[in-house]
Amino acid sequence: MNNEQFFYGNAPITPGSPAAHPFPFPSSRMLGPSSWSSTSSPSPSPYTNSSSLHFSMARPPQPPPPPPPLHEEENSPDPQPHEETPVPPMQIEPRMLGSTASAPTTPPPSVAVVVPAIFIDNIGKRLRLEKEQVDNLHLMAKLGASGDVPLSRADLSTRILGMAATYQEAASGRRREHQVWQEKEGALTAGDVLGVMSDLKVRLRDNFTFGKGQRVNIRAVCADEMYKATRTNFKDSHVDALQRLHKEKEKHELTNIIGHADREKALATLVRRTSSSVRNNYREDLVKFSYAPDELTLTALSARLSQRFMMGGLGRDVPAMITIRNAVLRRFVLENPEAACVPEVESDESVEDTERDDDRPAKRTADGTRKAGSSRKRGGRIPNGQDFWSLVDAWFARETKSRGRDLTSVKWKDYVAETIAMDNKRFDPPPADEAHEHGYVTAMQHPHFDVAGTSTGIANRGWSEGAPVWQEYGSSGTQSRGQQGDSDAALMSLLE
C-alpha cells in the first residue's frame, strides 16, 4: 500500500499529499497491466479523506472520475463500504439563460385568410356605394391581409363593414344633392339629348353653308374645266365641273356633301353660279388685255390667262392648243365689240360673295340688297342666247361642223394662220421708227375698252357692229411686223 504511487503529470505523488490531484490515476494504469500485482492490497480511495481534496477556483470544476473497475473490488480482500462523492454545486452564468429564459414559447401565428372579393362587392351593391368607394374597400382588404402580422378574417371583415357604413352615408348625401339639382334645374335625359341633336341636324340642313376651303376648291375646278384646251362649248362647263367634283370628292373635301340630296342640290347651284362667274372673268380679261394700256402679246396673254384659270398654271407650260384658242377668241372679241360688252346673266341675283374672284365682300345698299359693282352696268335683262358666251358657242358650233373640233387640223390651218398673223401685227409691232413709217402708232394708242357694258369708245371711232376690226390696221399682210420668236414658230408648225 505504501509502495503504491500516483503520478500527476511526470511527478509521483503519494495519496493524502496536499498537492495531490483530485482525480489521480494509479501507476499501474500508466505502466500497463504487467506491473499490477494481484496480491497487493487495494489502494485506498483517494476520496475517503475529505481533507485531502483541494479544488482550484482558477478553473471550472471537473466531472467526477469514473468508478473503479469491478475487478479491483473483487480482488480487494477488505472491501470498504462505498461513500457518496460530494459534487460541487453547479455555477450557472447569466449569459446562459438569455433574455427569454423565463418567457413561455408560443407558436408562430397562422396566415390570415383574405376576405373574399365577392363579400366586398355584395356590400357595395346592398349599400349602394360608388365605384370608387368599392375600390377603396378592396384595397383595404389587401392591406389588412398583408404584413408580418395580418389581421384575422373576423377583424378585417368588421373593419371593412364599418368603413362601408361610412361610405354609405356619403354616397347617399351626394345622391340627394343631385336629385335636388335635377328638380330645380331640370337635367336632360337621354331622350332629350337625342331630340335636341335631331333638331340641330334639321336646322343645320336648312342653314347649310359651304366652307371657305370647299368654295376655293369648287372655283378652281370650275375654272380649270372652263379653260381646258379642248373646250369649245363654254356654257356647258359647269356640267363637266360637277361630274369631276363627284369623282374627286375626297380630294376637294366634299365628303360631307356628296350623298346628301339636299346638299348635292346646293352644290349643283353653286357650281352653276361659279362657272358663270369664271366665264365672265375670262371674257373681261380677253377684252382688257386686247386694248391699251393693258394690251399683251399673244404669248403673254396666254401665260396670264393660264396662270389665273388653269389649275397649277403657274408652274405648267401653256399648251399650244390653248394659245391658238386664245388667239381665236381675241379675234372674236375684236370683230364683235358689242357682244364682248354683254356679260353673262346669272340665274340668281343672290350670288355668294365667295364666288367673286377676290375676297372683297359684295357692296350692299341701305335696304340690304346687293349693289351692282362698278364693272357691270345693268341695262335690263339680256335675252337668253344673246350674251357673249352664247354667241361664242354658237360660232364654234357652226365652224366645228365643217372644220372639226381640233383647231390644229388642216381645215383650221388657214383661219388660224391668218388669226395669228393679224394678232402679231397688232400686238407685236416692229420698232417705233418702222411703226411710225407704216402708220401703226395711231392704232396702238386706242383708248381702253370699256368692259362695263357699253362700247362708246369703239363707236366714237366709227366701228360698225360686225365689221372686222382688223380692217383699221390693214389686213393685207404686206406690212412688216415684229417677230414673235420661238413661241410663234411652234404655233405655225402645228398648222403645216
**Confidence (pLDDT) at 381:** 61
Segment 301-323 shows an average pLDDT of: 86
Hunting for cell 363593414 — which residue is that? Answer: 161
Angle between helix 320-335 and 413-427 (nearest 10): 70
User: Which amino acid makes up residue 326?
Assistant: N
> Is the pLDDT at 41 greater than 60, yes or no?
no
Confidence of residue 3 (pLDDT cuts 50, 70, 90): low
Segment 338-350 shows an average pLDDT of: 69
Q: What percentage of the chain has pLDDT greater than the value 70? A: 54
Question: Which residue did the predictor score with more confidence, 448 or 211?
Answer: 211
Q: What is the pLDDT of residues 92-134, one digit of tens each?
A: 454 444 444 444 445 445 444 578 999 999 999 999 999 999 9
Q: What is the pLDDT of residues 78-95, one digit of tens each?
A: 555 555 555 555 454 544
**Confidence (pLDDT) at 457:** 33
Distance CA 484, CA 489 (A): 8
**Confidence (pLDDT) at 332:** 94
With 0-12 / 13-18 / 19 or more C-beta atoms within 10 angstroms meaning exposed / middle / buried, residue 60 is: exposed
What is the pTM (predicted TM-score) of this model? 0.48
Question: Which residue did the predictor score with more confidence, 9 or 450?
Answer: 9
**Confidence (pLDDT) at 295:** 87
Segment 174-187 shows an average pLDDT of: 78
**Confidence (pLDDT) at 192:** 75
> Is the pLDDT at 475 greater than 50, yes or no?
no
Segment 357-379 shows an average pLDDT of: 47
**Confidence (pLDDT) at 99:** 45
Q: What is the pLDDT of residues 184-226, one digit of tens each?
A: 766 666 777 788 888 888 777 777 889 999 999 999 999 999 9
User: If you average pLDDT over each of 369-378, 392-401, 429-438, which comes out highest?
Assistant: 392-401
Angle at 378 between CA 305 and CA 383, to 5 degrees: 85
Question: Which residue did the predictor score with more confidence, 345 or 217?
Answer: 217
**Confidence (pLDDT) at 360:** 45
Q: What is the pLDDT of residues 129-168, one digit of tens each?
A: 999 999 999 999 998 888 788 888 889 999 999 999 999 9
Segment 417-444 shows an average pLDDT of: 62
**If you average pLDDT over every residue of the chain, what do you get?**
70
Distance CA 255, CA 247 (A): 11
> Is the pLDDT at 230 greater than 50, yes or no?
yes
User: Which of these ranges, 196-210, 256-270, 345-359, has the smallest mean pLDDT?
Assistant: 345-359
